[in-house]
A and B are shown apart, each in its own frame.
Chain A
Amino acid sequence: MRDSGSEDLIVKMSQVIKEYPLGKLKVQALRGIDLNISRGEFTTIAGPSGSGKTTVLNLIGCVDVPSSGDVQIAGQSTTNLSDKELTHLRLMKIGFIFQSFNLVPVLDVFQNVELPLLLQGELGASERAVRVKEIIARVGLSDQLRQRPNELSGGQRQRVAIARALVTNPALVLADEPTANLDSVTGNTIIELMKELNATQKTTFIFSTHDPKVMRQASRVIRLVDGEIVLDNDGIEGVVEATDGRGEVGS
């Protein structure tokens, strides 16, 4: 299965099927997905509601396992990994950005961003502090270090989440509709921030969205319909418009 470019492949999905039980029946959320994503890509997954975007991201993020087929992350197959090993893989290789930001409410900005580093347990306190402050500066929140999530605006919270996702220098950052709970201007700056970090840190980003304006920022668009990839190309504007029939309906 190894091809010449596999070392540079951060995600490799082969014949991935995902079924959900629905009473006595089963729904096929993904019907045989083949997908390769290389290091440094800035990819979006598009498609109508219920098309399987979240499911794909969950499988890549190792928070869920496929019904059949194989998902490889950075060359490592996840099929036979235990929960413990999957947790470790997530901790070391993957950063998450959520639609609802999902910060720990009782921790301040600094502590939220520090959390993954603490869990990794590799850096000492002073090194951690340097790294955390550096990344918080990158997302422009140096003045809010000691504020709690409920004291921040939505856009600021998502910046904290981005900082938390990036603080460990993960190989891959996943974001499921990161702008869905933000107004369009703020959403745009968040995507621009992600894009900038993608360019400077060479971090791979995969995010899903309904929003064609957001889609337009991506260098690659993968379009899902009914659990199948119907289009996969780099983000030429015309194509983006053409691939999402619903236009700007969004979420």
Chain B
Amino acid sequence: MATIKMILLIAVRNLWMARRRSLFLGGALSIVTTLLVLLMALSQGMSDNMIHSATTLTTGHVNVAGFYKATSSDSSPLITDTSKLKAIVEESIPEVDYVVSRGRGFARVTSETGALSSLLAGVDLEQEPALLDVLESAPESFYKEGGSDTIKGDVQKLKDPNSVIIFATQAERLEVGVGDRLTLRVQSFTGMANTVDVTIVAVARDIGLLSNFSMFVPSEVIQELYQLKPDTSGAIYVYLHDIDKSAVVMARLREVLHKEGYELMEYQPAPYFAKFGTVSGEDWTGQKLDLTMWSDEIEFLTWILTALDTVSFGLIGILVAIIAVGVMNTMWISVRKRTTEIGTLRAVGMSKSRVWWLFISEAALLGLIAALVGVLCGALVVLTVNALEIRIPVDAVRAILLSDTLNLSLKPDQVFNAVGVMTFFTTLSAMWPAFKAANLQPVEAIQQSE
């Protein structure tokens, strides 16, 4: 409407008239918005890394795992009749991208000079060719002092019997390279110790903290180490097209598997290795299935995100509060300076609510423009940082960020939220001055000019 246009015109022109003030305040708003965007991008980047690393190494989007108890006092993280179970799972999830079964183990790994403990993932490359896309080979210099910048080894060779793919940090600690042999030693579920010798076929780039404690072997190695029957595995990993559907899919799977006659453990959002103890103490034998989501399996890591988000929230909150005071103060000055104008408008017949809008729209416009500029700057920084592929020099920071390069990630809805939040708070800060302006008595206002 024409009146709204007029109100906006007055607002824009007043912002322009006081452009030094607008620039100062708008600049501050933009900087805080940029900071907000960057913190969100950092948190999202870490979350992305975490999900990427976890879903590559230790979990699917949804997992069908389980415990097998031969006697009531033991517990093995095993599922029997894997192929039948896998078929049922595949059939009942239309959202599925692919389904794989993995063996799980925990071994003491020794080289000639060193030793460490690691989770073992027993993979069948026929089932999950995609794994090779996410496992990037590391140049030799990543793990060997004076090593060459060329990549040795080939992840494809995991198809070979008794092969292993380890990660750069592990190779560094074990002082080994491609072609070297490692001994894997496990305590089998029945209490016997077993060893298998394996050859390193590739050294992969680290994928966050989790890759310090994981390595890949062909599934046959797990079978041999634990003396398992052929159709027995550790877990079925379900990968979806949309990771956000995980909870829905898990709920559906529980129903389906229950109907199929499987015994299900009560849902407990914790990683499988945290459940050993409790299951061992429970009084039952045979097979029970345990369904989890990716987030349950890395529940011990997500505190990092929570911590980062909390700190970011606090920081942004303080900055927004400071700016809110600034906006309020500026609006006060504006209202006082324009008392005569307001009184005139009121005398001429402008309603209180329109006077209120006059000031509110000024603040809202300033907030909106500044937030848009801020978001734009933030997005540019994100793009630049990602393009530069900055390597993080400190190990601890790498571990926390779950990546060896700085990875920022920005989602469109986060951009909208940032603009919305900043505009909202700017506008909110103008409420009180605007209210005061609207309630000026026209007679007082006119008198000021005489």
Which A residues have a C-beta under 8 Å from some C-beta of B?
54, 58, 61, 63-64, 83-84, 87-88, 90-92, 96, 98-100, 102-107, 111, 114-116, 118-121, 125, 128, 164, 176-177
Contact = CB atoms under 8 A, between A and B. Distances in A.
A54 B344 contact: no
Contacts of B450: 54, 99-100, 176-177
B113 interface: no
A100 B442 CA distance: 15
Contacts of A90: 347-349
Given A83-B352, A106-B14, A118-B3, A96 B9 contact: no
B344 A84 contact: no
Interface string B431-450: 00000000001110011011
A107 B348 CA distance: 15
Contact of A91 (B6, B340, B349, B446): B349
Given A102-B449, A104-B344, A105-B17, A88 B349 contact: yes
Nearest to B353: A84
A87 B351 CA distance: 6
A92 B442 CA distance: 16
A119 B348 contact: yes
Nearest to A117: B2
16 contacts: A58-B443, A58-B446, A84-B351, A87-B350, A90-B348, A91-B349, A91-B350, A92-B349, A96-B348, A100-B340, A102-B343, A104-B10, A105-B341, A111-B9, A119-B348, A119-B349
Interface in B1-52: 1-3, 6, 9-10, 13-14, 17
A244 to B, nearest CB: 20
B354 interface: yes
B151 interface: no
8 smallest CB-CB distances across A and B, nearest first, come from: A91-B349, A106-B13, A102-B344, A63-B442, A100-B449, A64-B443, A63-B443, A90-B349
Contacts of A58: 443, 446
A83 B340 CA distance: 19
A63 B443 CA distance: 6
A118 B347 contact: no
Given A102-B344, A119-B351, 10 more contacts: A84-B351, A87-B352, A90-B347, A90-B348, A96-B344, A99-B450, A105-B17, A106-B13, A118-B6, A121-B2
Secondary structure type dominating chain A contacts: helix
A54 to B, nearest CB: 7
Interface residues of B, number: 29
B256 to A, nearest CB: 63
Interface string B356-390: 00000000000000000000000000000000000
Contact of B347 (A63, A104, A105, A121): A63
Contacts of A128: 2
A98 B446 contact: yes
A121 to B, nearest CB: 6
B61 interface: no
B345 interface: yes
Contact of A111 (B3, B6, B446): B6
Contacts of B347: 61, 63, 90, 96
B10 A107 contact: yes
Contacts of B6: 111, 114-115, 118
B9, B13, B347, most chain A CB atoms within 10 A: B347
B104 interface: no
B88 to A, nearest CB: 68
B288 interface: no
Contacts of B443: 58, 63-64
B341, B346, B349, most chain A CB atoms within 10 A: B349
A224 B13 CA distance: 42
Nearest to A59: B443
A91 B182 CA distance: 91
Contacts of A100: 340, 449-450
A182 to B, nearest CB: 14
A98 B344 contact: yes
Contacts of B447: 54
Contacts of B348: 90-91, 96, 115-116, 119, 164
Nearest to A84: B351
